[in-house]
Amino acid sequence: MSAILVVRDLEKTFGSLVAARDITISVPAEQTVGVIGANGAGKTTFINMITGHLKPSKGSIWFEDREITGKPSREITRLGISRSFQVAQIFPSLTVFENICMAAAIARRAGGVWGNIASPVHSGAATAEAEATIELFQIGRYRDTAANTLPQGVRKLLDIGMAVVGWPRLLLLDEPTSGISIEEKFDLMNVVMSALKARKITVLFVEHDMEIVARFAERVLAFYDGTIIADGTPTETLDDPRVQELISGVRLKPTAARPGHA
């Protein structure tokens, strides 16, 4: 399977502080990759460089055989890379349907800017994509509910749905189960991963919950001190002695099979 994302010798410094260094990876299309590490390990810096929110100090980033190193985040989004954030980026006073229509309209505008955005929000294309996304993420019962009254799990699903409404080929998720109860986290991730696989989206997700990582990732990158110290299957990475010592602190056996990987 060909690589959709290739990172070579990536580095980011802030003065004398080295936030990321010696990062070289290749991610095949449609792979689901978990990214783990303690706070300050370099995970967010890595994600921000891929999405154009930070310019690398050194190295290169290639997406679908096109170099995107240092390009503005808006241009990178147009090329097919999207992301969600730990705190849901939604319009609180709008309904679920209106939020997704807005995201669809923005995604369909060349340049993705706000100018004169009101007119195409309820266009046929935007509303059709909104209805399809609501069904894909199984939030139809909340279609006409204001976003600021949604349960936390549904807010997460809405936020991720808005990130995929433009049909990206690569999606970066930041702590998708953050703030979600233990009882809800596996159900939420089942919905998310099923939806992303249905759209053949390559996924990199940052996560502190090792149970979620063990269950839903096909591959796990472990960050420490700005660089990758382990890269392998969930079992290989989570069983790595350095990962157990520096990141997880415990050995986790793989849980039930991932969706589509029985």
Spell out where 190-240 has E strands. Answer: 202-206, 219-224, 227-232
Instruction: Give phi and psi for 253, each to the nearest 5.
Output: -85, 145
Whether residue 262 is contained in a domain is answered as no
Model confidence over 181-193: pLDDT tens digits? 888 999 999 999 9
- Domain end residue (candidates: 166, 185, 218): 166
Tens digit of each residue's pLDDT (9 = 90 or more) over 208-221: 999 999 999 999 99
Angle formed by the axes of helices 182-198 and 152-164, to 10°? 20
For residues 227 and 181, membership in a common domain is answered with yes
Collapsed DSSP state (helix, strand, coil) of residue 155: helix
> Does residue 144 sit in the same domain as residue 204?
no
pLDDT at residue number 244: 95
Query: Residue 208: inside a domain, yes or no?
Result: yes
Residue 114, pLDDT > 90, answer no
Question: Which H helix or E strand runs over 79?
Answer: helix 73-79
Rounded Cα gap, residues 174 and 156, in angstroms: 11
Rounded to the nearest integer, the mean pLDDT of the chain is: 88
172 backbone φψ class: left, alpha, beta (φ>0; ψ -120 to 50): beta
- Residue 257 pLDDT greater than 50, yes or no: no
214 class by beta-carbon count within 10 Å (0-12 exposed, 13-18 middle, 19+ buried): buried
pLDDT of residue 113: 39
Residue 112: is its pLDDT beyond 50?
no
- Split at pLDDT 50, 70, 90, the class of 86 is low
Q: Report the pLDDT value the prediction gives residue 28, as an integer from 0 to 100.
A: 98
Averaged pLDDT for residues 28-52: 95
Pair 183, 135 in one domain: no
- The pLDDT assigned to 126 comes to 79
Task: Tell me how far the alpha carbon of residue 254 is from its chain's centroid.
Answer: 22
Average pLDDT rounded to a whole number, residues 194-223: 97
pTM: 0.87
Residue 173's domain spans which residues?
1-80+168-252
Classify residue 69: in a domain, yes or no.
yes
Q: How far apart are the first and last CA of the chain?
A: 21
Q: What is the pLDDT of residue 106?
A: 80
Let me know: does 150 contact 45? Beta carbons within 8 Å. no
| Residue with token string 């991720």 | 160
Give the domain-ending residue among 166, 190, 206: 166
In this prediction, residues 215-229 reach a mean pLDDT of 97
Helix, strand, coil shares, percent, the chain, to 5: 35, 25, 40
Average pLDDT, integer, range 22-30? 97
Domain count along the chain: 2
- 118-133: pLDDT as tens digits: 435 566 777 888 999 9
